[in-house]
């Protein structure tokens, strides 16, 4: 797909234009004036707005003025990364310098708005494989979703990074008068080695690493010019602040050593701090992954949720609660503590399950967001991502193993007022479900993948088959006169029997309970209902009914079951006429049509 050579995005394809020689010369001239080396060739594509903005003389003048100001700032007051805190909303994703939010009409700054932006940057990092790529990769790994974090970036930095060029001069935190890299002295080598060590630590933040191990790693990265353990510990605390925990372990035997000169209150506080460090260290040691969501079985099992907690946290919470069986509360609060301790690395089962359940029952973003702010459930964004991933994984599949189950499809019209105030834009479609007896459950794990609405539609789409009747055999049908029934229906007096049974059984069963009393055979088990895709056509339309029949027939053939489909009376009559008018070799001829008993 064609992409704009200025913003490198493929959104709004209708506004993309193909460059000719004159347009290329204009962009190349503007690029030379801006100093960012953007190349343009005949046949390249560009957004109309991007081209006008990029070649606008007033915008170029403003760009040059900003360049001079920033160069002067960086020359006089060099910016050290160890003294700044990176913020995705206010700092460029690539150069790390301050950037104005695109909402404030700064045409040189853009927000991340596409889901595949992060994967493209990861590919660029793999292609570059240098220090700048390592720094950008470290920022990507510190956030789960760039779009949700409102990340911003400079256009020039993005172009240079993707085209394997250096940081733009006016964006670089290093003064242009700095010494060449091959002539740096020992302090410069140590500084480079320190930041490489920081990147290594970010990539292994789930491990417990000792300071001596980091000194050895830094020694490898800067040719034997590593910091001492004491100074490296100091630099790490300055760089990470509260985001890092460095715990002293005297003799490598314990995290806490009792001082002899503390009063009881100070000793208690010291013990609590040591216990907290131990628990947090164990939480960081939990082996987990965010590529796959927790399964329903893990969410529903109390034992699995308790085993999710590290032993130290489980022991701590078990000694706090005083109930007879506080297992569920221990698992819930323990996982809330773990999620708060590692918000970017964990998706705890109970918090995800609660968020999905609340959203399913109440469809309230406010309620989910409120519970998330209190630390009780996953974020609304994560819940939506789970639902889109689950919908994409399900597609048109039936859940579980249905080889020993009876499957009956049911189709009926679906109406929904998308604007309930005035009743306009009402949705009319055909909804399809599959009733499975005994019921089955989905066991397939759900991968955590970002799916767009269009991708989900493509995965769960019913093919529309237009109906063209070949004949009208329904008009030839003749109905025989009904004969009198001479046999006695065994269920004829069930109503009378259900009325007089009350002296024999108490409490009196309802009609469904009475039917279970008189039935024979084993109970097959509770049924389950699987929702299948809808057809966005009027349900009474013959093409819609014909497409529904073909979809059910294909599903039955796929699972090697009999195609049984239930309609209400108006749809049943039209479906029957379609089946009767089909050719003898049609797959629809073997379908069993049933009339809904409620009609």
pLDDT tens string 152-166: 888 888 877 877 777
Are the CB atoms for 132 and 163 separated by under 8 Å? no
Question: In this predicted model, what pLDDT tens digit does every residue of 92-105 receive, in sequence order?
Answer: 888 888 876 544 44
457 pLDDT more than 70: yes
CA distance 194 to 184: 15
What integer pLDDT is reported at residue 419 of this predicted model? 59
What integer pLDDT is reported at residue 81 of this predicted model? 38
Of 259, 287, 286, the C-alpha closest to 273 is 259
Cα–Cα–Cα angle for 48, 121, 62, rounded to 5 degrees: 45
Beta strand extents in 30-177 (DSSP E only) = 45-47, 109-111, 152-154
Confidence band, pLDDT 50/70/90 cuts, at residue 333:
very high
20 pLDDT more than 50: yes
What integer pLDDT is reported at residue 73 of this predicted model? 41
CA distance 46 to 410: 50
**End-to-end Cα separation, the chain, in angstroms:** 52
What integer pLDDT is reported at residue 253 of this predicted model? 37
Of 123, 222, 195, the C-alpha closest to 164 is 123
37 pLDDT more than 70: no
What integer pLDDT is reported at residue 266 of this predicted model? 81
What integer pLDDT is reported at residue 1 of this predicted model? 58
Confidence band, pLDDT 50/70/90 cuts, at residue 129:
confident
546 pLDDT more than 90: yes
What integer pLDDT is reported at residue 428 of this predicted model? 84
68-82, 348-362, 556-570: least confidently modelled range: 68-82
599 pLDDT more than 50: no
Q: Which residue has the tokens 């066991």?
A: 443
465 pLDDT more than 80: yes
457 versus 72: the higher-pLDDT residue is: 457
21-30, 79-88, 567-576: least confidently modelled range: 79-88
CA distance 7 to 45: 11
* Whole-number percent of the chain with pLDDT over 70: 76
For the record, the structure tokens of 288 come out as 């987990």
Which segment, 102-106, 500-504, 547-551, is predicted with the most confidence on average? 547-551
Q: Mean pLDDT, to the nearest integer, of 50-69?
A: 74
Helix (H, G, I), strand (E, B) or coil at 22: helix
β-pairing, 406-417 with 426-437? antiparallel
For the record, the structure tokens of 488 come out as 């006695």
Confidence band, pLDDT 50/70/90 cuts, at residue 550:
very high
Q: Mean pLDDT, to the nearest integer, of 226-246?
A: 76
226: DSSP letter? P
Are the CB atoms for 381 and 323 separated by under 8 Å? no
Confidence band, pLDDT 50/70/90 cuts, at residue 76:
very low
378 pLDDT more than 90: yes
Confidence band, pLDDT 50/70/90 cuts, at residue 302:
very high
Of 527, 525, 494, the C-alpha closest to 511 is 494
56-65, 66-75, 475-484, 554-563: least confidently modelled range: 66-75
223-232, 296-305, 327-336, 490-499: least confidently modelled range: 490-499
Helix (H, G, I), strand (E, B) or coil at 257: coil
β-pairing, 109-111 with 426-437? unpaired
Which segment, 258-262, 295-299, 562-566, 593-597, is predicted with the most confidence on average? 562-566
Q: Is 311 exposed, middle or buried (0-12, 13-18, 19+ CB in 10 A)?
A: exposed
What integer pLDDT is reported at residue 567 of this predicted model? 94
What integer pLDDT is reported at residue 12 of this predicted model? 66
Q: Which residue has the tokens 């956030």?
A: 143
Of 366, 388, 390, 389, the C-alpha closest to 377 is 366
334 versus 295: the higher-pLDDT residue is: 334
What integer pLDDT is reported at residue 230 of this predicted model? 78
What integer pLDDT is reported at residue 423 of this predicted model? 59
For all residues of the chain together, what is the average pLDDT? 78
CA distance 35 to 29: 10
């Amino acid at each position: 797909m064609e992409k704009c050579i200025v913003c490198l995005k493929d959104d709004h394809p209708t506004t993309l234009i193909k460059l000719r020689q004159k347009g290329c010369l204009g962009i190349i001239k503007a690029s030379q004036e801006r100093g960012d080396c953007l190349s343009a060739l005949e046949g390249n594509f560009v957004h109309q707005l991007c081209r006008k903005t990029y070649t606008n003389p007033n915008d170029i003048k403003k760009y040059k003025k900003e360049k001079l100001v920033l160069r002067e700032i960086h020359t006089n007051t060099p910016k050290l990364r160890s003294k700044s805190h990176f913020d995705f909303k206010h700092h460029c994703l690539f150069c790390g310098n301050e950037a104005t939010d695109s909402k404030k009409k700064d045409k040189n700054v853009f927000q991340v708005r596409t889901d595949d932006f992060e994967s493209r940057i990861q590919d660029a990092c793999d292609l570059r494989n240098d220090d700048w790529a390592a720094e950008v990769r470290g920022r990507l790994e510190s956030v789960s979703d760039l779009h949700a974090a409102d990340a911003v970036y400079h256009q020039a930095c993005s172009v240079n990074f993707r085209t394997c060029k250096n940081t733009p001069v006016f964006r670089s935190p290093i003064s242009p008068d700095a010494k060449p890299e091959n002539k740096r002295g020992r302090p410069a080598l140590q500084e480079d080695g320190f930041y490489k060590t920081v990147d290594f630590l970010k990539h292994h933040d789930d491990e417990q690493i000792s300071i001596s191990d980091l000194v050895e790693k830094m020694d490898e990265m800067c040719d034997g010019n590593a910091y001492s353990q004491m100074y490296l510990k100091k630099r790490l605390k300055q760089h990470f602040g509260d985001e890092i925990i460095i715990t002293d372990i005297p003799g490598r035997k314990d995290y806490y050593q009792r001082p002899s000169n503390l009063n009881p209150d100070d000793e208690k506080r010291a013990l609590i701090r040591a216990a907290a460090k131990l628990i947090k260290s164990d939480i960081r040691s939990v082996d987990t992954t965010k590529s796959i969501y927790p399964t329903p079985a893990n969410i529903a099992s109390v034992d699995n949720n308790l085993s999710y907690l590290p032993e130290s946290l489980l022991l701590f919470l078990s000694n706090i609660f005083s109930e007879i069986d506080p297992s569920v509360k221990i698992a819930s609060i323990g996982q809330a503590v773990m999620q708060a301790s590692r918000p970017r690395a964990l998706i705890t089962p109970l918090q995800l399950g609660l968020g999905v359940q609340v959203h399913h029952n109440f469809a309230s973003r406010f309620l989910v967001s409120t519970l998330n702010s209190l630390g009780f459930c996953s974020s609304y964004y994560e819940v939506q991502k789970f639902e889109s991933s689950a919908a994409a994984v399900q597609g048109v599949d039936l859940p579980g193993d249905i080889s020993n189950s009876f499957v009956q499809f049911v189709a009926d019209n679906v109406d929904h007022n998308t604007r309930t105030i005035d009743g306009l834009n009402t949705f009319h479609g055909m909804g399809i479900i599959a009733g499975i007896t005994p019921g089955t459950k989905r066991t397939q794990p759900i991968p955590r993948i970002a799916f767009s609405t269009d991708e989900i539609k493509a995965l769960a789409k019913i093919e529309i088959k237009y109906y063209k009747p070949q004949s009208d055999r329904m008009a030839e049908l003749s109905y025989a006169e009904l004969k009198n029934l001479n046999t006695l229906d065994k269920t004829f007096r069930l109503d009378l029997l259900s009325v007089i049974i009350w002296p024999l059984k108490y409490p009196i069963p309802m009609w469904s309970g009475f039917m279970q009393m008189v039935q024979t055979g084993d109970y097959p088990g509770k049924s389950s209902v699987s929702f299948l895709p809808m057809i966005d056509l009027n349900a009474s339309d013959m093409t819609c009914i014909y497409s529904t029949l073909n979809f059910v027939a294909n599903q039955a053939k796929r699972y090697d079951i009999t195609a049984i489909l239930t309609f209400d009376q108006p749809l049943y009559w039209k479906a029957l006429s379609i089946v009767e008018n089909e050719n003898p070799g049609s797959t629809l001829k073997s379908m069993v049509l049933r009339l809904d008993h409620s009609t």
